[in-house]
A = this chain, B = another copy of it.
Amino acid sequence: MSTVRARAATAIPGLRVRRAAERRAAIIDAALDLFTSRGFAATRMEDVAAAAGVAKGTVYLNFTDKEALFEGIVRTVIGPTVREIQAIDFAAIPCVREAIERVGLPAVKDMATSRRGDIARLLISEGPRFPRLAEFYYREVVAPGVAQMRLLLERAVETGEIADGRVAEFPQLLAAPILMAIIWQALFQRLAPLDIDGLLRAQLDVLLGRPSWSSRGSHAP
């Protein structure tokens, strides 16, 4: 999954620049892996370097600090996420439930399984010791995410999918099962694997009611 490097100079961006970018990417890649699996404190800079295929000093050419490396990871990985979240337009959705199942669920499963989930877990673990990062994450990911989820719930109230308008005051309810899934996977996967898909659908069921068109069981009259 990691290591890029090599690859001959192709053309425009200049060989040096290209290589530098690749190195930086490799370092972030390696560091994310290690921070995620061992935690921030238990990860040695030397291991990051080795995993990225560079020398110890090279890491410091890209990041002033171990902390800066941590920040760099979060910012880099989170960057695209923010834009994706904010790009979604819920205005004209006819059926919220359908929209979520079609668009949201895959994204969420990606979240729970991929890098982005790792970042979330990392932040849960180390956030209290990196308030600046927690704030950054809140501003860039959590706040916009919550805002969008609120819009979604409000739309669901409009379409009649949600009866009780007060639920829209707690968009966190939409995120809670995702969080649960991320953490459960990290801690108990070996012991008792969780049916993430089922969990998320079940929460949608209780929030929005069961859809007639759902791919899962239909009650014929």
Contact = CB atoms under 8 A, between A and B. Distances in A.
A89 to B, nearest CB: 24
A40 B172 CA distance: 29
A38 B129 contact: yes
A5 to B, nearest CB: 24
Contacts of A220: none
A213 interface: no
A164 to B, nearest CB: 6
Given A134-B188, A187-B138, A188-B142, A173 B203 contact: yes
Closest A-B pairs by Cβ, 5 of them? A41-B41, A125-B125, A176-B176, A176-B180, A170-B202
Please give the count of copies of this chain that the complex contains. 4
Given A39-B125, A41-B41, A179 B183 contact: yes
Interface residues of A, number: 52
B166 A124 contact: no
Contact of A176 (B37, B126, B135, B177): B177
B191 A135 contact: yes
A205 B179 CA distance: 20
A55 to B, nearest CB: 14
A211 B170 CA distance: 18
Contacts of A191: 134-135, 138
A69 B16 CA distance: 30
Given A125-B39, A128-B37, A179-B180, A172 B199 contact: yes
A123 B125 CA distance: 9
Contact of A203 (B37, B42, B128, B176): B176
Contact of A128 (B166, B187, B198, B202): B187
A192 B142 CA distance: 10
A202 B38 contact: no
A155 B14 CA distance: 68
A151 interface: no
A108 to B, nearest CB: 13
Contact of A169 (B137, B192, B198, B217): B198
Nearest to A180: B176
